[in-house]
Amino acid sequence: MSKNGTRFAIVLITSLFFLWGLAININPILIPHLKKACQLSDLESAFIDSATFFAYFIMAIPAGRFMERFGYKGGILLGLFLFAFGAFLFFPAAETRSFIFFLTALFVIACGLTFLETAANPYITVLGEPETATQRINFAQSFNGLAATLSPLIGGKFILSGKNLSAQEEAGMTTQQLNDYLNMEASAVKIPFIVVGAVVLMVAIFFWRTKLPEITENTKQKETGKI
């Protein structure tokens, strides 16, 4: 790869660290929001985090097997597709105000994140000089931390309404008024997640059109100094 091509590839890989950091750290915003919009119990709302980490648990080995067969770039493209598809699923989930639908969307997103995390770390180490591999991965991981910082701010501004009904207010509403309020709360996730899905698809297009080096187990071992 040319020097400029390598730099652009590093930017793309670094963007993955930011994107999955954003997705993972939006859950603390979604938990109280979906608990209100879907009228969940504390136990039910705990499944929001569980859906994400269950996906990591069951997809880790399949992600590795997929990349052994189709390459790390193929894994990144599939991961971005799953990420975007899961984000777009938030629209019908909000339309139906179905908690199971929301959990499905989160599960699909997390499946995509599993592929991205599996591929991004080895890629960032082989893009560039071996002597600066540690600096590159530390730099990329700093964007994961940046995403963790920005997620609550973004979620709080664009998802949370700040309006919570008291028991007295809820009791004073008609069934239709309460449904209208809950539907409005659920709909708050539509635009933010459509935007996220569109951004992820755009990143996927860049990856598809960018030439990246093929990574094998020997490549990873050489870059980490194991052989």
Chain segment 8-65, per-residue pLDDT in tens? 888 999 999 999 999 999 998 899 899 989 999 989 999 999 999 999 999 999 998 9
pLDDT grade for 7, boundaries at 50, 70 and 90: confident
Which pLDDT does position 155 carry in this prediction? 85
Does residue 167 carry a pLDDT above 80?
no
Q: What's the mean per-residue pLDDT of the chain?
A: 87
What's the confidence (pLDDT) of residue 108?
A: 97
**Domain of residue 69, residue span:** 3-222
- Distance of alpha carbon 45 from alpha carbon 99, whole angstroms: 9
Whether residue 83 has pLDDT greater than 70: yes
Q: Which conformational region is residue 137 in: left (phi greater than 0), alpha (psi within -120 to 50 degrees), or beta?
A: alpha
> Would you say residue 147 has pLDDT above 90?
yes
84 occurs within a structural domain: yes
Per the structure, how many domains does the chain have? Answer: 1
Residue 227 lies in a domain: no
Residue 141 lies in a domain: yes
Q: Which residue has the tokens 């400029």?
A: 4
2 pLDDT band, cuts 50/70/90, is low
**Helices (DSSP H) in 89-132: which residue ranges?**
90-96, 99-126
pTM score over 0.75? yes
CATH number of the domain at 184, please: 1.20.1250.20
What is the token pair recorded at 93? Answer: 């989930």
